[in-house]
Structures are given as structure tokens and as C-alpha cells.
Amino acid sequence: MKIVSKSMIQTQSRFVIAFVAALIWSAVHGQAHSAEIRLEGLLGSKAVLMIDGQRRIVAQGSSSPEGVKLLAIEQETVVLEVNGQREEYTLGSGAVSTSFSRPSKVTEQIYKDLTGMYRTIGSINGYPVGFLVDTGATAVAMSSNEAKRLGINYQLKGRAIYVNTASGQAKAFRVLLDSVGVGSIKLNNVDAVVIDGPHPREVLLGMSFLGRVKLQNQGEIMVLETRN
């Protein structure tokens, strides 16, 4: 017959309690991790941040995909909110290590302008771009002039096609963009079309991007939300 002493039972109890406590801590803090954040530049009401080696252009009042929110810009200093804590970052200062939890969903709002169109500032492959939201466009679309400005080698890496435009058929190239961002929402590997010539004059934010987020039209505001 196996004899279990009182001290063995106490040791096992302490082990079980410690194990359960570790599981609880992991569940609560599992998404938190240490990150390097550095202020690299200022673009009017936007800040260029380097977060964990990823360059993010964050507008005042918006958050990066990592959940870092830009609260204010004061000369060469920005005030960021990380996990509910306010932190100041200055241009030229070294990277600061901090911990944060990634949000499960990210939302962005796009407002109608005076013409009744939804326009916003975003990014393609990390470069700032002005977007015209077009739910009727099957893909993100831009002129060859814009593609050259963004450094997109569409003739070498793209596939030649023809598209229908207001002026008739036009030669175009289907390409794959590394990333497309609107505020804190960033998607990788987004299909796009580069149309030969100066049109469209604005980059069309089409369904190859919009179809991968949740859209809600609230009249004057269009709300974009990431999917789980």
C-alpha cells in the first residue's frame, strides 16, 4: 500500500496553485509583449513611427495596428498612448522599450468631403497616398504616373491586361502591392491595377482592399473595421 504523507500533499497543492496562477497570468497577459518605439518624423498632423521595425504613419487621434495611439504633436515631440499610459517621444531620441497589448479589432472613419465623396490619406508600400473610396472598382487602381512615383515596377512585375474606362478600353497592368494602409488598418498583398497614362488622377481605393474589411456606411461617415 502506498503511503502519502501530509508534506507531499501540501507540496502537490502548492504546485497546483502555482500552475493555475501561471495559466491565469498567461491568459491575461498573453498578448502583451515588449516593443521598440521610435519617432522618425512629422508630417503635419501625422507622425512617422518605427514600431518593432515597422514604419507606421499615424494621424493625430488614430492608432497604429499595434494599438499605439497618437494623442498630440508638440513641436518635435509627440504624446502617445500605450496601454492607457501617456508617453512622450522626441525626434532623434533613441528607441524606447515598452509593453503593449494588440487590439483584437481596429476601426477607422472616412468622412465625406464637400463634393460628397469619401476621401482619405493612406499609404501604399509605406508611402503616403491620397485615396478616393470607390466601391465600384474591383481593385485598387492608379495611373502609371502614380505608380512610378511610388516606385512600383509594374511593367516588369505586372501582368498586361485591358480595362474599361470612361474613355474606352485602356492598357493596364495587374500588380500585387506589398501593403495598403488606411489610418491604423494595414493589409498586405493587395491586388491593384496600374492604368497606362495620367488617369485616374486619384488612387481609387477599390474592393481588393475594401472587401477585406467590414464596411458600414453611416451617411457622412464610412466606418472601416478589421475582420477577426
pLDDT in tens, 132-155: 999 999 999 999 999 999 999 999
3-state SS track over 151-190: CCCHHHHCEEEEEEECCEEEEEEEEEEEEEEECCEEEEEE
Query: Would you say residue 130 has pLDDT above 90?
Result: yes
Query: Would you say residue 35 has pLDDT above 50?
Result: yes
Could you give the count of Cα atoms lying within 13 Å of 189 in the half-sphere of its Cβ? 0
Q: Any idea what DSSP says for residue 228?
A: -
pLDDT confidence band for 99 (50 / 70 / 90):
low
Fold of 32-101: SH3 type barrels. (2.30.30)
Contact in structure between 36 and 89 (CB atoms under 8 Å): no
End-to-end CA, the chain? 55
Segments making up each domain of the chain, as ranges: 32-101, 107-226
The pLDDT, as a whole number, for residue 173 is 98
Q: Position 91: which residue type? A: L
Query: Would you say residue 38 has pLDDT above 70?
Result: yes
Mean pLDDT value of segment 15-25: 41
The pLDDT, as a whole number, for residue 46 is 87
Compute the Cα dihedral for 75, 122, 220, 195 and give only its sign: positive
Cell (9 digits) for 178: 506589398
* % of the chain at pLDDT higher than 90: 49
Q: Which residue has the higher pLDDT, 14 or 49?
A: 49
pLDDT in tens, 159-210: 999 998 877 889 999 999 999 999 989 999 999 999 999 999 999 999 999 9
The pLDDT, as a whole number, for residue 8 is 47
What integer best gives the mean pLDDT of the chain? 82
Query: Would you say residue 64 has pLDDT above 50?
Result: yes
Contact in structure between 35 and 100 (CB atoms under 8 Å): yes
Contact in structure between 180 and 140 (CB atoms under 8 Å): yes
Contact in structure between 49 and 55 (CB atoms under 8 Å): yes
Mean pLDDT value of segment 10-38: 49
Lowest mean pLDDT among 73-77, 93-97, 115-119, 221-225: 93-97
Mean pLDDT value of segment 114-130: 95
Fold of 107-226: Cathepsin D, subunit A; domain 1 (2.40.70)
